[in-house]
Amino acid sequence: MSKAIAAAVGATVFIAGIGVGMAAQKLGPSLFEGKSKAAAAQALVDAALVQADDGSWERIAVGRIQYLGGQKPQGQAIFDAILAGKHAASDEMRIARVYREAGEWSRAKPLFDTYVTKNPEDEKEIAEIGAYYLLAGDRDHAEALFAKSFAITSEFWATVAAAGAYLGVAPLAD
């Protein structure tokens, strides 16, 4: 186990141990008022991890804000822990979106490709991934994914994702 994963797991266990009651309690301004942005963010991240419990989507959401917010190793440790265990393909999709949002297409692409392979009938996400390919400059692959999506069904969000990509606009992610 890498040091980053061990640190993330240790921090989660520690937080869970001291914050068992926090999940049932209301969060208050003492978490952030009068603190530096970094201290306020950390207090809220710690609270969010307790609230997330073992929910993968929730932990990915926390990892996203850390990864994109300047705490890349902490966010990566969350992603690594999720991907190392039993996880759903939707977890890979969500993590790939973070990498793409961070401008790391080379990290996002393999996860998107795996998602398409595991979910060949998911027309909405296939079109979304096609949009990301188009935005990354691979029109041929994008249009193949759009065709695959539209062959399944004509789904509104798939159409919007494709249209937006041709205008340089990333799809809305759920």
Q: Structure pTM?
A: 0.81
119 pLDDT higher than 50: yes
What pLDDT is recorded for position 25?
60
Mean pLDDT of 97-112: 97
Residue 47 near residue 31, CB atoms below 8 Å: yes
Mean pLDDT of 90-107: 97
Residue 16 near residue 82, CB atoms below 8 Å: no
Tokens of 142: 């994008």
**Segment 46-67, tens digit of pLDDT:** 889 899 888 889 999 999 999 9
Q: How many CB atoms lie within 10 A of CB 16?
A: 15
What pLDDT is recorded for position 122?
95
Domains of the chain by range and CATH? 1-87 (no CATH), 88-174 (1.25.40.10)
Place of tokens 């069904």: 153
Residue 120 near residue 86, CB atoms below 8 Å: no
